[in-house]
Chain A
Amino acid sequence: MNEIYKTDALIAEDIDSYLDTHQHKTMLRFITCGSVDDGKSTLIGRLLYDSKMIFEDQLAALESDSKRLGTQGENIDFALLVDGLAAEREQGITIDVAYRFFATEKRKFIVADTPGHEQYTRNMVTGASTADLAVILIDARKGVLTQTRRHSYLAHLIGIRHIVVAVNKMDLVGYDQARFDEIIADYAEFARSIGIEDFTAIPISGLAGDNITSPSDSTPWYDGPALLAHLETVELDQTVEQQKPFRMPVQWVNRPDLNFRGFAGTIATGQIRPGDGVRVMPSGKTSTIARIVTMEGDLDLAVAGQAVTLCLADEIDCSRGQVITAANQPVEVADQFEATVIWMDEDSMVPGRAYWLKLGPLTVSAAIAAPKHQVNVNTMAHEAAKTLDLNAIGVAHITTDREIPFEAYADSRDLGGFILIDKMTNRTVGAGLLHFALRRAQNIHWQATDISRDDHAAMKNQKPLVLWMTGLSGSGKSTIANMVEKKLARMNRHTFLLDGDNVRHGLNKDLGFTEADRVENIRRVGEVAKLMTDAGLIVITAFISPFRAEREMVRAMMQPGEFVEVFIDTPLEEAEKRDVKGLYAKARAGQLKNFTGIDSPYEAPDAPEIRIDTTSISAEEAAELIVSKIIP
Chain B
Amino acid sequence: MSAVTLTHLQRLEAEAIHIMREVVAQADNPVMLYSVGKDSAVMLHLARKAFYPAPPPFPLLHVDTTWKFRDMYSLRDRAARKAGMQLLVHQNPDAVRQGINPFDHGSLHTDMWKTEGLKQALDLNGFDAAFGGARRDEEKSRAKERIFSFRTSTHRWDPKNQRPELWRSYNARKNKGESMRVFPLSNWTELDIWQYIHLEKIEIVPLYYAAERPTVIRDGLLLMVDDDRFPLNGETPVMRSVRFRTLGCYPLTGAVESRAQTLPEIIQEMLLTTTSERQGRAIDHDQAASMEKKKQEGYF
Contacts and interface: CB of A to CB of B under 8 A. Distances in A.
Partners in one complex: yes
Interface of A: 7-8, 11-12, 15-16, 18-19, 22-27, 52-53, 55-59, 82, 85-88, 91-101, 103, 107-108, 110, 113, 122-123, 125-126, 129-130, 238-239, 242-243, 251-252, 254-256, 260, 262, 264-266, 271, 293-295, 301, 303, 305-307, 309, 320, 344, 356, 358-361, 413-414, 417-419, 421, 426-428, 431
B14 A307 contact: yes
Contacts of A87: 141, 289, 292
A99 B18 contact: no
Given A27-B11, A103-B191, A129-B166, 18 more contacts: A12-B268, A15-B264, A15-B267, A19-B264, A22-B191, A27-B8, A53-B137, A53-B189, A57-B276, A88-B141, A91-B160, A95-B162, A99-B187, A101-B137, A251-B18, A358-B169, A417-B169, A419-B166
A442 to B, nearest CB: 27
A97 B8 contact: no
A91 B25 CA distance: 33
Contacts of A344: 164
A110 B52 contact: no
Contacts of A93: 144, 159-160
Interface string B177-191: 000000000110101
Interface string B1-15: 101111111111111
Contacts of B265: 15
Interface residues of B, number: 70
Interface of B: 1, 3-15, 17-18, 21-22, 24-25, 48-55, 136-137, 140-141, 143-144, 159-169, 171, 173-175, 186-187, 189, 191-192, 195, 198-199, 264-265, 267-268, 271-276, 279, 289, 292
Contacts of B21: 251-252, 264-265, 307
B14 A107 contact: no
B3 A126 contact: no
Contact of A305 (B9, B14, B161): B14
B242 to A, nearest CB: 19
Contacts of B53: 254, 256, 260, 262, 293
A99 B143 contact: yes
A27 B195 CA distance: 15
B167 A417 contact: yes
B3 A303 contact: yes
B298 to A, nearest CB: 16
Nearest to A113: B143
A547 to B, nearest CB: 17
B6 A303 contact: yes
8 contacts: A16-B264, A93-B159, A123-B164, A130-B167, A265-B21, A293-B52, A307-B21, A419-B169
A459 B104 CA distance: 81
B11 A19 contact: no
Contact of B268 (A15, A303, A418): A15
A56 B164 contact: no
A98 B143 contact: yes
Contact of A55 (B17, B52, B174, B276): B276
B109 to A, nearest CB: 23
